[in-house]
Each structure stands twice: as structure tokens, then as C-alpha cells.
A and B are shown apart, each in its own frame.
Chain A
């Protein structure tokens, strides 16, 4: 008998006795949902009815995304067209005196890197970690923007690996307007549709720059990951 068999054996033995259904204890305040519960998992898309509201129109959702970004201290710029991208990037480059960049291969990231004209480390084919650590910014594309949370989704396959979006002190995301989804259920459904069953080994929902409140619950940005997060949306 392996430990696997032992543990699964103990679990199966324990589950011989049925547990009371959720909400059946007198204190937990059963809701109408409990009456219909038969022991299965609840329908997924209902989550949309309970989570924070996102608005109906695309304009409302962009408005919500921008508001969430402001709360999170993410710098979000909605650009009128692709042509405005170089100017927006150059402005950040000059303000922060970037010397070195890291990025990955992609249609938008290529445009971004070309317009900045700085030595650029591409991570796609493997890279030196010490060199990445010395870069002033990591520029990536993304899979999704989420209006409900002000978050951005990156993966180890589509955005240059695991470290590019977390190691440099400034993470710049170049996104397309059509990548905005209204809410979290839509984001998970999209990821499942796009990747299942062969998911990238890492999928990360990034919501704001790196932060900590571990000293007296006072918010400090840049605990371990990027101090700054910029999202440029074309």
C-alpha cells in the first residue's frame, strides 16, 4: 500500500457517512438557494449575478476599468490609435530615464520596443536572469483586461515567460481594446476556451502593482514585484 492508497482509503471510508447539506446547521442562515441544493456544484454563470456589477455597454466597462485602475494605482491610458503608442512610451522612458528594456516577441511589443530605441532583452528563447534583473522595465502584451477588477491576465506562453512581468521594477502592458472582458466569469470562460486542455504552465491575474501592508497595515507599492504598472490600451 502506498501513501496514496492509504489517504484515498481513509477519505473513502470517511465519506461513507453523509454530511448535512450546507446551510442545514441552525446558525448559518440558510438562503433560498439552499432549498434547491442537491449536492452538486452550483451553476457557474450565476456568479455573474452576485459579483460586483460591471455595466452593459463597452463604454461603461472601460469607465469601470479606468476607475479600478485609479484605485489600484495602476497607470491606465486609453490611446486613440496605434499611432499614439510611441509617444506615450517615449514620455515614460524620458520621465524614468530608462536605459535597458526587456520584452518578448509579439506584434505590439515589437512596435513598442522599436519606438523606444533602447537595448532590449528578449526573453522568449531563454535569457540571463541577472541581465533581466538589471532592466528598467518589462514590456509585455496580455491575454485579457478585466473591467470588474481592473486586472490584466498574462501567461507563461503568450507574454514572454514567468519572470518578465514580475522581475523588472516597471511592468508596461500593451493591450488591444478588444481584449477587455466584462467580468471574472467571462475571463475564466475565455481562458478555458482558448487553452484547454493544454494550458500555459502559468496563468497570472495581475491586479495593480506589487503591494504590501505588512508593516502597520500601511500600503507600500513594490514589495517584491513591479513598483509601477502601466497599461497602454490601443
Chain B
């Protein structure tokens, strides 16, 4: 009896884990798609409202889908087991340190006359480096 219950519980666990993991992945992708759309609309609208106060909420509006995306990402992180958490920790540590070093280096190069780059490039840079970190960390435990 107890073993039957145990097996059921296992299947339930597998099912719910996969479902919620999938749900957060879908939420994350939806948020990123919304981000692209909102960003595009805001950039177009911004040109027409440059002398109005509306330009300020318009300029930061793309942050709203980004926050939804981060929320889904954090929920997904909370579902990870101990080894996956460790892999994420290594990847995120690598991404933060590498981003810090790259932005600091470029900041100094700007003093030497390199062109000024937009701060919005930092987030995709973190994402890119996090991907590399994840790839390397996952290989270590395979």
C-alpha cells in the first residue's frame, strides 16, 4: 500500500516539476517577446514625444516585460536541485565577474578616446556571458 502511494507520489512529482518548469520557461519566452514588441513601440513613439514629460515613462516602459521575465527566471531557479543550483551559481559568478571586468576595461578605454557605448548593452552582455558560463559549468558535471 505504502509503496503504491510512493510510486504515485513520484509520478506526481515528475509531472508537477516538469509542468511548472515548462510554465516558467514559457512565461520567460513570452516576457522576452513582449519586451521586443514594447521596445520597438516605445522607440517609435519616443521620437514624437521628445519635448513632453511622457518621454520618461515611455523610455522605461520596456522594463515592465523585463521584470516579468526576471520573475519567471527566479521562479525557475527556485525549482532547481542542489547540483543545478551549483551550476547556476558558477555560471552567474562567471557572468558577473566577466561583465565587471569587461565594462571596467571599456570604461577606461573610453577615457583614451574610444566611442561611448550605451548602458543598455550591459544586460545582453550579462546574458551572453551567463550562457558561456552555463555551458562550461554543465560540462564539468557531465
Q: Determine if chain A interacts with chain B.
A: no
